[in-house]
Structure 1
Amino acid sequence: MPFFRWVVALGFLSFACAVGLYATGSDLPEARQIDLTVLDEKSDGSCRVRWTDPYEKRTREAPYHCDPGRSDLLKAPQYSDSHGYGWETGFMLTEGPQRGNLEDLTTEQDLGSADIFLLVGIPLIALGLLGGNLRALPRVLGVRSRLIRRANELLQAATTAAEDYDRAVAAVGEAKRHDVLPDEAGSDSGSRLITALWVLREAGPQARQTAALGRKLTERLHRLLDDAAPAAGLRSMLQAGPGERLKAAQAVAELRPLLAGAERNGVPERFAQTSVDLLRGQDEDLAALAAVTDFAGDPLAYRHLLAQLTPFAVLPGTASSRRGRSSRR
């Protein structure tokens, strides 16, 4: 529940009410500054002043509290006045039954509505900001964007290696529908089946193992990355609930040793090398020439490899369907 967010909102609302009341001046009577003639003044600031009341059309006198710290040039007898009086300024009320009177700044006034709103709003804002930041601190510390990025890179490499191997096996299945292995070497130099088998021979038996590892790792990484998604960034972590943050912390704890072990054993490099080896058949002319030469040297190895792949060789549509399911996990 966003408790501190509501505290901040309430604080800003109170502060806005205080600003509005101060702007309209609803709590304070209107007053304007006027000149005062200081008739008598003591060292503590107590004085008697004279001013002109424009409402009663007469000159008035009253006790007042002058500023004792003002310049001596404004006090009697230094002030340049022919009567030997001093000078001060004050505020005269211009509305209400007290208009024409001086505003007594030394008298303690009761807190108005604007003051109350201000005294309530400022602590609420401070409490909301401080509490919200303290509450968000565990979420900020739970962000592991670099770890998530490394896991995504490993996932991409594993998925690519598995898909490249499935594509190579599917190419053998497709070629087998139209071609058969020739009985004699060199009798069919343009055989697509020989070329497809040559790609897998060049990748080596470890390509199949690497692809199997890629499928297994892809499934596991998909599950962990789905749970660890909130830890990918500050925004997602702040928006996640307590349950999601707990799952993210558990997933991150499982991802950390998994990535460390994969990098220590060179698994990303194996995936990359397997993908490179399985892409050798893209140049069909060079691949066909190399395949015929290799087939002539060891045709039995090709027949043995074809026998091994026959249960796994599928049509391209089936392979792509399986890859589609893998990518949607």
Structure 2
Amino acid sequence: MVALGLIIFGAAVAVYETAPEDPETKQVDLTVLSEKLDGSCTVTWADPYADERRKGHYQCDPDRDPMFMGLANDPDTGYGWDVGWMVTEGPSKGDLFILGQDDAEYDKAIDLSDELIGLSLLVLIIGVVGGSIRSLYRLSGASPPVVRTARRLEQVASRLAQDHTQAVDAVRTAWEPLRQSLLDEALGQVSVEELWQATDGGFDAAELRRCHTRTARDVLDAGTPVLSRLPGVEPGAAEQLVAAAQALADGAVRAGAGRELLERSDPRVADLLNALSVLVRVGPEGRAAAESAAELAALLGPLLEWAEPAGSRRQMLRADAKERAAAKDAVGRLRQLLRMAEQRGSFDQFAQTSIDLLRGPDADPAGIAARVDFETRPEAYGYLLTELAVPEPQPVPV
């Protein structure tokens, strides 16, 4: 009976080992050259491993956003664009891979393997004791499909969080030269005498002038450590002086970051409108999706580490009792998160929002489309700029 049980178990392991597993992949932009109604399409993509642009067949999403549908008769766009997955390891590195294409075959092999393991367990229970039974028990917590699906969801969620962060950083980067321009214009016109009136005094304005600190701009450039060592500055006055200049700077930025600034004909304003337009297009729903993706990725990351042994029966056999217990608990929590994500349609929502963010303003460096969009909804652009880049007013310490 023991020999029979071991033979059946060996067959289960053989079936499991031959089950196809998804390779490591990453997202890649696709240019669709032709497409059928069912989504079967011919695409081109950049292969960084072969350092060339390749052409092949793929299963596109026929229900993707119309913005990604090109003109069939346009030789430059073909049928538009889509996002796919490219293999990053093994002999197929650089090839396209359709997520889930091997799931049916994989699940079928795993089901057969599970059935054989169950049968072998029944046979071995009759003929083995002790360590043999414990070894088989270790396999009970293995859940490769759950771990594999959770990894995919974590990748998509992390990618969206990263894309949203990059879009926000692009706004702040484009805003910085305009902010500096506003500061230079406003602070250079305010003398230290005017700052004296805005504080409790505590410093000699004439002494500051002799030390080449004449304006609010000079005060901020010097900072508290330098000012506190200048003659005529009483203890604590340097902090008040810097705070007053900073409040003036923040006020100038808040006052200048409005529609009048965004309506200027300036290449720097065009860059800012382009950066803002990406986030305005995705709207509050896109931001909520990005925040949800960041939270979900933060939850999935540690759980996937704890569930690592459950991703493979071989690893589960090698794990100790503490690692197996942690893996089983993590798999249970992963199932709950996957169930919630499926109910909310998170996978599709994250992928679509990431595509919208990746679209970016690269095709319109002059910002014409962004300016037209700004004219239709200037409040949205102004609100977003204020929220992302304009400081909240701070009280001046006394």
TM-score normalised to the size of structure 1? 0.52
Q: For residue 175 of structure 1, what is the aligned residue in structure 2? A: 174
CA contact (8 A) 2:143 2:311 kept: yes
1:309 Cα deviation after fit: 1.1
What SS does the corresponding residue of 1:205 show, helix, strand or coil?
Answer: helix
* CA offset digits 1:64-117 (Å, max 9, x no partner): xxxxxxxxxxxxxxxxxxxxxxxxxxxxxxxxxxxxxxxxxxxxxxxxxxxxxx
Same amino acid, percent of matched pairs: 40
Question: Aligned partners of 1:219 and 1:189: how far apart in 2?
Answer: 38
Matched, 1:305 2:304: no
Q: For residue 290 of structure 2, what is the aligned residue in structure 1? A: 211
Q: For residue 253 of structure 2, what is the aligned residue in structure 1? A: none
Q: For residue 373 of structure 2, what is the aligned residue in structure 1? A: 294
Instruction: Identify unmatched segments of 5+ residues in structure 2.
Output: 1-123, 180-256, 392-398
Question: Aligned partners of 2:335 and 2:343: how far apart in 1?
Answer: 12
What SS does the corresponding residue of 2:142 show, helix, strand or coil?
Answer: coil
* CA offset digits 1:232-285 (Å, max 9, x no partner): 101110110011111111111111121011112101111111101111215342
Instruction: Identify unmatched segments of 5+ residues in structure 1.
Output: 1-125, 313-329
Question: Aligned partners of 1:247 and 1:150: how far apart in 2?
Answer: 19
Matched, 1:164 2:242: no
Question: Aligned partners of 2:366 and 2:289: how far apart in 1?
Answer: 22
1:215 Cα deviation after fit: 1.6
The 5 A counterparts of 1:131-210 are 131=129, 132-179=131-178, 183=261, 185=263, 187-188=265-266, 191-210=270-289
* CA offset digits 1:157-177 (Å, max 9, x no partner): 111111100000000010011
One-letter code aligned to 1:283:
D
One-letter code aligned to 2:166:
R
Matched, 1:234 2:313: yes
Question: Aligned partners of 2:380 and 2:293: how far apart in 1?
Answer: 26
One-letter code aligned to 1:308:
E
1:184 Cα deviation after fit: 6.5
CA contact (8 A) 1:186 1:296 kept: no
Q: For residue 327 of structure 1, what is the aligned residue in structure 2? A: none
Q: For residue 33 of structure 1, what is the aligned residue in structure 2? A: none
Q: Which moved more, 1:172-181 or 1:199-208?
A: 172-181
Question: Aligned partners of 1:212 and 1:184: how far apart in 2?
Answer: 27
Distance change >3 Å, CA 188–CA 298, structure 1 → 2:
farther
The 5 A counterparts of 1:273-288 are 273-281=352-360, 283-285=362-364, 288=367
* CA offset digits 1:1-40 (Å, max 9, x no partner): xxxxxxxxxxxxxxxxxxxxxxxxxxxxxxxxxxxxxxxx
Distance change >3 Å, CA 157–CA 287, structure 1 → 2:
farther
Q: For residue 25 of structure 1, what is the aligned residue in structure 2? A: none
Question: Aligned partners of 2:292 and 2:128: how far apart in 1?
Answer: 49
Question: Aligned partners of 2:281 and 2:366: how far apart in 1?
Answer: 11
Distance change >3 Å, CA 184–CA 220, structure 1 → 2:
closer
CA contact (8 A) 2:143 2:312 kept: yes
Question: Aligned partners of 2:360 and 2:262: how far apart in 1?
Answer: 23
CA contact (8 A) 2:274 2:361 kept: no
What SS does the corresponding residue of 1:285 show, helix, strand or coil?
Answer: coil
Question: Aligned partners of 2:176 and 2:353: how far apart in 1?
Answer: 26
1:185 Cα deviation after fit: 3.8
What SS does the corresponding residue of 1:187 show, helix, strand or coil?
Answer: coil
Distance change >3 Å, CA 287–CA 150, structure 1 → 2:
farther
Q: Tell me the matched-pair count.
A: 186
Q: CA RMSD in A?
A: 2.6
Question: Aligned partners of 1:220 and 1:243: how far apart in 2?
Answer: 21
Q: For residue 271 of structure 1, what is the aligned residue in structure 2? A: 350
One-letter code aligned to 2:265:
S
One-letter code aligned to 1:235:
R
CA contact (8 A) 1:280 1:287 kept: no
Question: Aligned partners of 1:270 and 1:227: how far apart in 2?
Answer: 27
Question: Aligned partners of 1:253 and 1:144: how far apart in 2?
Answer: 10
The 5 A counterparts of 1:93-104 are none
1:189 Cα deviation after fit: 6.5
Question: Aligned partners of 2:288 and 2:176: how far apart in 1?
Answer: 26
CA contact (8 A) 1:148 1:225 kept: yes
* CA offset digits 1:175-217 (Å, max 9, x no partner): 0112467647472467110000000001111122111111211
CA contact (8 A) 2:278 2:361 kept: no
CA contact (8 A) 2:262 2:273 kept: no
User: For the pair shown, which has the larger CA radius of gyration, 1 or 2?
Assistant: 1
1:287 Cα deviation after fit: 8.1
1:286 Cα deviation after fit: 6.8
CA contact (8 A) 1:148 1:232 kept: yes
Q: For residue 115 of structure 1, what is the aligned residue in structure 2? A: none
